[in-house]
Every structure is written in C-alpha cells, then in structure tokens.
Chain A
Amino acid sequence: DAKTTQPNSMESNEEEPVHLPCNHSTISGTDYIHWYRQLPSQGPEYVIHGLTSNVNNRMASLAIAEDRKSSTLILHRATLRDAAVYYCILNNAGNMLTFGGGTRLMVKP
C-alpha cells in the first residue's frame, strides 16, 4: 500500500473545529483513503473513508484534494473524548491495513 505522511501531534481547544492533514502523494487510482482513531487503552476504531468525493458522517468529515494527493479529516467540534491517535491509511485490497505513526490529537478544555 502507498505511504501516508501525518504530523506527529496536534493540539486543539474543546468545542473548536480540528483539521487533521494527511499527505499521500503516491496514491493510486484505486486506493481508498481510510481514517481510524485509537483512544487510550483501546483498539483502533473506524472513523471515515472516501475515494474521490468529500464525505460526511456522524463522527467527522473527510475532505479529499482534487488530485487526491492529500486529504483532511475534519472534526467539527472537538470534545475531550476526541483525544486520540488518528491514523490515515490507504487501502484497496481489503486485506491488511498498513498503519503509520498517526497524529496524536490533544484537546484542551
């Protein structure tokens, strides 16, 4: 799977929007962009995914650049419960997920 690049950490204030960036310049045409997050002492959980168009669900929004070489996960109003490590993953085969180091999001009250 192609490689992704994310900042090691980000900080946000509670109830403010958070934009988590991900670069994936070697993405192929069939790669889906997935976001998972891992809360402390838990396994990763699915957040959102997309292919070409922007996506919204109850947890977050995913904005995908027109050339698909980058994407941004948007949390519209960060809460303390959103403090986690966020992983951006490319996958097209339904097999293994290749996790990078992710972005550790810290939310300040």
Chain B
Amino acid sequence: DAGVTQSPTHLIKTRGQQVTLRCSPKSGHDTVSWYQQALGQGPQFIFQYYEEEERQRGNFPDRFSGHQFPNYSSELNVNALLLGDSALYLCASSLAGTVGWGYTFGSGTRLTVV
C-alpha cells in the first residue's frame, strides 16, 4: 500500500519565479495538509484541503496557494519566490474527522531558491 507520494523530490528555482509541488495522498485518505519545514525547525502548517476546498490556513501569505483534485491529490503553488521560501515542503494526508494520530506524511520536496 503506497503511502503519501510527493514530487519532485528536489527543486531549484530562482528568486521571483513560481513553483508547483504535487502530492498524492495515501489510499483511503481524503484530506491533504501542507507543511513548510525550515532547516533545523519543526514543520509549520500552511493549509489543509478537503472536498477540493481550503478548510484551514496557517500564517502564510497569499503567495502560497493550493488546489485539491477530485481524486484527492493536491498541489501547492508558491508565487514570487523569496530566498526565505527555501525549505522542505511536506504533504500529509488523513481521513476527514480523524484526530491527530491519523496523519501520514510524505518524504517531502526540498525547494532551494537562489
């Protein structure tokens, strides 16, 4: 049973560019959350998608946007990249209504902005 799949695994972008990261949730899961993890820190919540709508959002600017598709997969888009956006971006899937133990994380996409 495949877990959460994220692509690409690594990415290098130039400041000012736009990037799209992709996530396929674990089979049976319908909710996708995105986290940003800077080096040496814990993951920070960006937003969560359920039923193709953003349900909850963390303290991130509008440059960060997302989408969820009918098959529950999701994309994270970041516009006007800044050097500070360099981080590991993690996708977590869960089943709606599951409290915090039900999250499955992918291995992440390492984004480097130069």
Decide if the interface of chain A is mainly helix, strand, loop or mixed. Answer: loop
A10, CB-defined interface residue at 8 Å: no
A-chain residues with CB within 8 Å of residue B105 when the two chains form the complex: 42-45
Decide if the interface of chain B is mainly helix, strand, loop or mixed. Answer: mixed
Number of A-B contacts (CB under 8 A): 68
B44, CB-defined interface residue at 8 Å: yes
Residue of A nearest to B47 (CB): A96
Contact-size category for B: 20 to 34
> Which chain B residues in 36-60 approach chain A with CB under 8 Å?
41-45, 48, 55-56, 58
Cα A42 to Cα B65 with chains together (Å):
24
B100, CB-defined interface residue at 8 Å: yes
Check if A43 sits within 8 Å of B90, measured CB to CB.
yes
